Amino acid sequence: MVLASLVPLCFAGWLVWQSMRGDTEDEGSGSPPVKPGPSASGTAGRDGDEQGRPGGEGTGDGDDADGGAREPLAGRTVVLDPGHNPTNRKHPTEINRQVDIGTNKKECDTTGTETNSGYAEAEFTLDLARRVRTELRARGATVRLTQDGDRPWGPCVDERAEIGNEAKADAVVSLHADGAAQGGHGFHVIVPASVRAGGADTSAISAPSRRLGISLAAAFDEVEGARRSNYISAEEGYVTRDDLGGLNLSKVPKVFLECGNMRDAGDAGLFTDAKWRGRAADGIARGIADFLTGKR
């Protein structure tokens, strides 16, 4: 009788023990439970934080721990150099001062050109740089401008190069527009020659700069309305020069983008169109991103 009454009690106890054992097995082999990722406003655990910045190429594929798309340029630094300065013309003494560019000496800066209607290159490049900054930041990049309308003149070409060097930028793009004869139209990219003279030494950055230039030219070529230059012989959309201080003094990959000819009615029509400047900014940002992620 006693034994018969104990059997149901033992069976009930065995069922309780099995239930408890199953709960512990669901957590895995001794590993702590996975905590949900932080919200988008947090910093710990996100791409680009201090503990996990992706520094290599191809970091834009896949998802992060909380299921959001990775920022492909997180951890990368880009310097944008809007050519000239809208108020350079008020400071002729300062901008005409000679500075050393390694191969020789040149003016600190110039006033730039303008369209026939008076839209200044410096206004165009500053607006474009701000738009590109927005596009790159949306991709996770840290972006710095050499000037943001916050200086009365300049900076000088040697300082523009130094800003990129000090930032240890992964890429620097100097934005310009040409002042060629009417009928000449289209863009081209200028990449640094391999130069070793005085304080200039581009031997380490000429090759990556060329890759940046090719990537930028390919992406800009896809911008609606953009076309390659018909007055500059630019293989693959780029030319090589050794006479620009902003390139000669750079220690990081850097190129110039001449977006077109401000004296040409067709190009000028694009430059003065805010919607086109938005499309151009997207193309520039894509070119930079493709270079940094190894897509081109």
- d(Cα 12, Cα 77) in Å, to the nearest integer? 65
C-beta of residue 140 within 8 angstroms of C-beta of residue 72: yes
The per-residue pLDDT for 236 is 82
Nearest to 175 by CA among 100, 79, 96: 79
The per-residue pLDDT for 70 is 73
Which strand (E) or helix (H) includes residue 114? none
Q: Tens place of pLDDT for every residue, the chain, 296 residues?
A: 444 444 444 444 444 334 443 333 333 333 333 333 333 333 233 233 332 333 333 333 334 444 345 799 999 999 999 999 999 999 999 999 999 999 999 999 999 999 999 999 999 999 999 999 999 999 999 999 999 999 999 999 999 999 999 999 999 999 999 999 989 999 999 999 999 999 899 999 999 999 999 999 999 999 999 999 999 988 789 999 999 999 999 999 999 999 999 999 999 999 999 999 999 999 999 999 999 999 97
Complete domains list, the chain, with CATH: 77-293 (3.40.630.40)
| pTM score | 0.77
Active-site residue among 71, 114, 121, 258?
258
Residue 255's contacts (CB-CB under 8 Å, 6 or more residues apart) are 172, 173, 174, 189, 190, 191, 192, 209, 212, 213, 216, 238, 247
The per-residue pLDDT for 23 is 35
Residue 11 burial (10 A CB sphere; 0-12, 13-18, 19+):
exposed
Q: Which two tokens stand for residue 77?
A: 């630094």
The per-residue pLDDT for 15 is 40
The per-residue pLDDT for 69 is 57
The per-residue pLDDT for 234 is 84
Told to judge if 258 belongs to the known catalytic residues of this protein, a careful annotator would answer: yes
